[in-house]
Amino acid sequence: MSAPPDFKQQPARARRASSGRYSFWRLVREGLKGQRGWSRAWAKAVPRPAYRVVIVGGGGHGLATAYYLATEYGITDVAVLERGPIGLGNVGRNTTIIRSNYFLPDNIRFYEYSLKLWEGLERRLNFNAMVSQRGTLNLFHSEAQRDLFTRRANQMRLLGVDNEPLSRQQLKERVPLVDLDNGRYPVLGGFLQPRGGTVRHDAVAWGYARGASEAGVDIVEHCEVTGIRRDGARVTGVETSRGPIAAETVCLAVAGHSSQLAAMAGLTLPIESHVLQAFVTEAIKPLLDVVITYGAGHFYVSQSDKGGLVFGGAIDGYNTYGQRGTLPMTEEVACAAVTLLPGLARLKVLRQWGGVMDMTMDGSPIISATPLSGLVINGGWCYGGFKAIPAGGMTTAHLVARGTPHPLARHLDLARFADGRTRDERGVGPFPYLH
């Protein structure tokens, strides 16, 4: 067997030529020059035989991990491998909501850290990610649910996170379209997190890819990982559709395909894959200036900058790797929509799509080393993957660079399932489809 590459003695990689700073004045200048001065936002890299770090998955978490490895920890000998074009996975197939209104203290701290990173992301990346902190409004429909939401709000306040109770009258003033006295589940009130909101999903992928590429990371598209190379209990690289690549550390950030990739290394993860549907309507004039979630069922809706209403519901409830859903769940989502907002019945749905969700046994994600040396996993995000992209990337980069968990992600280790330290946010037990 040939000796492995000496990663530690490889020189630091130089920053690539920048695509230039984006600004209003540059838009004006390029317009006057006939739009001839623009260059690619990120370089189309060709994979090299070896890297210090190989990140499998060019979605939000993979790109964010690469970006923070390069900019926070100075590790630029990194390749991000994506089997298709950047932005066509879950990062571009979600309902774009960001928030930190969780119940467990460790989860509140983690997602609040992510929300704070979102607030400064556009300036840091010099990229318009369309971060819109329009507020996230959770409705409740029973006294028991009021008590539950109050407990969550109090826990958030104890940790310094914003949350405001709203009465029925305040709800009606904020969202006149809501039918408070609907026949199925009358609305008793709600809790608003003013700093929650939405972010343009495609722009997140593009912004992180641009920033990582400029910092020296190789973004390798159309490069499918077909195997993981091992030398005993150590991972030494990956097999790809474009040839083998050696690596000191391999990081899996592949969302709903986490179990498939881990199986290539001989690991079984406590994760099931399910499909989650989303929908968008025809564009209408501004109608909804807040994100609404429906406490009586799993339904959430916001209005995009293009005018369409973007909404979704629960997972379809069966294991699949398919990116399409079923009509029964479509009917359930539509029923919840017109119950809460009767006016939506007049709108046409333009598009429907599905994302592959990696659902863990306790509903909380995994950011962890594995029993195999040199293999790190970022996955198991359930419904929370998009909102956690900045924190997920930062904490995964810390784990790869330092070899120890980030303080905010220490509770998300893989060993918690064997040790009985699960983080069951909803308290529904080891049933992934219920989380």
Q: For 120-157, how does the pLDDT look when each residue is reduced to its tens digit (9 = 90+)?
A: 999 999 999 999 999 999 999 999 999 999 999 999 99
Check residue 3 and give its pLDDT. Answer: 44
CA angle 262, 319, 354 (to 5 degrees): 95
Q: Is the pLDDT of residue 9 over 80?
A: no
Locate 262 and state its tokens.
Answer: 């881990």
Query: What is the spatial distance between Cα 106 and Cα 86, in angstroms, rounded to a whole number?
Result: 31
Q: Is the pLDDT of residue 2 over 60?
A: no
Q: Give the Cβ contact number of residue 206 at 10 Å.
A: 22
Query: What is the spatial distance between Cα 264 and Cα 259, in angstroms, rounded to a whole number?
Result: 9
Q: Which of 5-14, 15-24, 241-250, 345-354 has the highest mean pLDDT?
A: 241-250
In 39-68, which positions are buried (b, 16+ CB within 10 angstroms) versus exposed (e)?
eebbbebebeebbbbbbbbbbbbbbbbbbb
Check residue 206 and give its pLDDT. Answer: 95
The better pLDDT of the pair 433, 108 is held by 108
Of all residues in the chain, the percent with pLDDT exceeding 90 is 77
Mean pLDDT of 273-289: 94
Query: What is the spatial distance between Cα 337 and Cα 348, in angstroms, rounded to a whole number?
Result: 13
Q: What proportions of the chain, in percent to the nearest 5, are helix, strand and coil?
A: 35, 25, 45
Mean pLDDT of 25-41: 89
Distance of CA 181 to the CA centre of its chain: 35
Q: Is the pLDDT of residue 67 over 50?
A: yes
Q: Give the Cβ contact number of residue 350 at 10 Å.
A: 11
How buried is 5 (Cβ within 10 angstroms: 0-12 exposed, 13-18 middle, 19+ buried)? middle
Could you give all domains of the chain from N- to C-terminal order, each with its CATH number? Answer: 42-92+201-270+362-434 (3.50.50.60), 133-196+272-360 (3.30.9.10)
Check residue 12 and give its pLDDT. Answer: 45
Coil, strand or helix: which one is 5?
coil
β-pairing, 245-252 vs 375-379, is parallel
Q: Is the pLDDT of residue 10 over 80?
A: no
Query: What is the spatial distance between Cα 13 and Cα 304, in angstroms, rounded to a whole number?
Result: 39
pLDDT digits (tens, 9 = 90+) for 224-264: 999 999 999 999 999 999 999 999 999 999 998 999 999 99
Which run of H or of E encompasses 228? strand 225-231
